[in-house]
């Protein structure tokens, strides 16, 4: 019996870039990567040998009890893998606006910023982007009890 609490973990899909993406995320968020390539699977696993170095399972254990899971998805298993990601965002929340800005700047490098990091009516610091691997992100600063927004924040 485990004493670890239940948690919801986002699982991301890639096309041969899972290891590279997780190493990038690790460089910004810290943590430890566990990676299992298809080539380490059972010998009778129905996978094209050209995918042997792709990750069948990737896990980034992030400090503070958080994690991201991911895998490379051969088109035979995920026929829409080449379509843009839609309908979700990976989110990072921090009580520290400087830390949230650091994460935003780090993870958005090489990607496309949708909303620049800055104060909004709900947060002292928020921004959104799609990273260089096509994964959509939001970075949010949780306001403290004494924080109040600039009346035009997020609308200038």
Read off the pTM: 0.85
Quickly name the fold that domain 1-75 has. Answer: 2,3-Dihydroxybiphenyl 1,2-Dioxygenase; domain 1 (3.10.180)
What is the rounded distance in angstroms from the CA atom of residue 55 to the CA atom of residue 17? Answer: 8
- The pLDDT tens digits of the residues spanning 2-14 come to 677 778 899 999 9
- The pLDDT tens digits of the residues spanning 80-125 come to 777 777 778 999 999 999 999 999 999 999 999 999 999 999 999 9
What's the CATH number for 87-156?
Answer: 3.10.180.10
Query: Residue ranges of the domains in the chain?
Result: 1-75, 87-156
1-75 and 87-156: identical CATH topology = yes
Contact 91, 137 (CB under 8 A): yes
How many other C-beta atoms lie within 10 A of the C-beta of residue 115?
13
DSSP assignment of 18-30, as one string?
HHHHHHHHHHHH-
What is the rounded distance in angstroms from the CA atom of residue 17 to the CA atom of residue 24? Answer: 10
- The secondary structure element, H or E, covering residue 37 is strand 32-37
């Amino acid at each position: 019996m485990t004493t670890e609490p239940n948690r919801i973990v986002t699982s991301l899909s890639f096309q041969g870039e899972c290891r590279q993406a997780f190493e990038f995320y690790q460089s910004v968020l810290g943590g430890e990567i566990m990676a299992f390539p298809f080539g380490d699977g059972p010998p009778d696993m129905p996978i094209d040998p050209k995918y042997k170095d792709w990750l069948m399972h990737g896990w980034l254990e992030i400090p503070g009890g958080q994690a991201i899971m991911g895998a490379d998805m051969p088109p035979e298993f995920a026929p829409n893998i080449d379509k843009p990601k839609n309908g979700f965002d990976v989110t990072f929340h921090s009580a520290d606006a400087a830390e949230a800005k650091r994460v935003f700047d780090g993870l958005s490098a090489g990607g496309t910023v949708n909303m620049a990091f800055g104060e909004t009516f709900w947060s002292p610091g928020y921004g959104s982007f799609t990273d260089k691997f096509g994964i959509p992100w939001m970075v949010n600063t949780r306001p403290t009890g004494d924080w109040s927004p600039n009346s035009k924040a997020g609308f200038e």
